[in-house]
Amino acid sequence: MSEAHTSPYATLAAELEQLWAGERDFFSCAANMAALLFWRLPEINWVGFYLRDGDELLLGPFQGQPACQRIRLGQGVCGRAAQEQRTIVVPDVRNFPGYIACTPETLSELVVPLSWDGCLYGVLDLDSPRLGRFTSEDASGLEDLALRLLSATDRERLHRYYRL
Ligand code: SME
């Protein structure tokens, strides 16, 4: 019998709760989450958040190379995941129509919508320089972490910042 597989996301979830330590500010918690994912997950060249501002997504806390600041809902992988409120895994970005290239070394991408009670707050975006980097385990693990972030933070405060 092999040892039971422990998801790295269970460990990351515990570390995040410890880092957040009851803090309720979205930007502070999201900044630490982007850093933890960027430095802990292998083969990742960009991790960050885009926050919904009306019918656009606006760049939020991230780690990696500078990126485009505004993306219209429906555009690129981020805009599509936001508009359809579903996780999108792109094994090869060259095959995704309308893909927005921020960093030339990115070859695969995963975008998880941040939504709560039907309200879309934005997306969590991860890029990798390896083709097919993201699995269904990554998708479900990151969906869980995204929900934890929204659950931990003061969502009313976000409503006051943005046109949600
Ligand atoms: N590639 C994304 C744009 C954001 S960057 O990857 C940081 C997209 O197509 O939406």
CB-ligand 1 contact for 127 (6 Å cutoff): yes
Atom of ligand 1 nearest to the CA of 67: 7
**How far does residue 6's CA lie from ligand 1's centre (Å)?**
30
Is residue 134 helix, strand or coil? coil
Tens digit of pLDDT for each residue in 134-162?
A: 999 999 999 999 999 999 999 999 888 87
Q: Going from the N-terminus, what domains does the chain have, and what CATH number goes with each? A: 3-161 (3.30.450.40)
pLDDT confidence band for 1 (50 / 70 / 90): very low
pTM for the model stands at 0.95
Minimal-distance CA residue to ligand 1 atom 2: 100
CB-ligand 1 contact for 58 (6 Å cutoff): no
Tens digit of pLDDT for each residue in 96-147?
A: 999 999 999 999 999 999 999 999 999 999 999 999 999 999 999 999 999 9
CB-ligand 1 contact for 110 (6 Å cutoff): no
**pLDDT of 21 higher than 70:** yes
Is residue 86 within 8 Å of residue 142, measured between CB atoms? no
Distance CA 160, CA 164 (A): 9
Those residues whose C-beta lies under 8 Å from the C-beta of residue 59, and which sit 6 or more positions away, are 48, 49, 50, 67, 68, 69, 70
What six digits make up the tokens of 24?
Answer: 């309720």
Q: Hey, what's the torsion of the CAs at 56, 60, 62, 68, to 10 degrees? A: 40
Distance CA 89, CA 79 (A): 13
CB-ligand 1 contact for 71 (6 Å cutoff): yes
Is residue 107 within 8 Å of residue 90, measured between CB atoms? no
**How far does residue 75's CA lie from ligand 1's centre (Å)?**
9
CB-ligand 1 contact for 77 (6 Å cutoff): yes
**pLDDT of 61 higher than 90:** yes
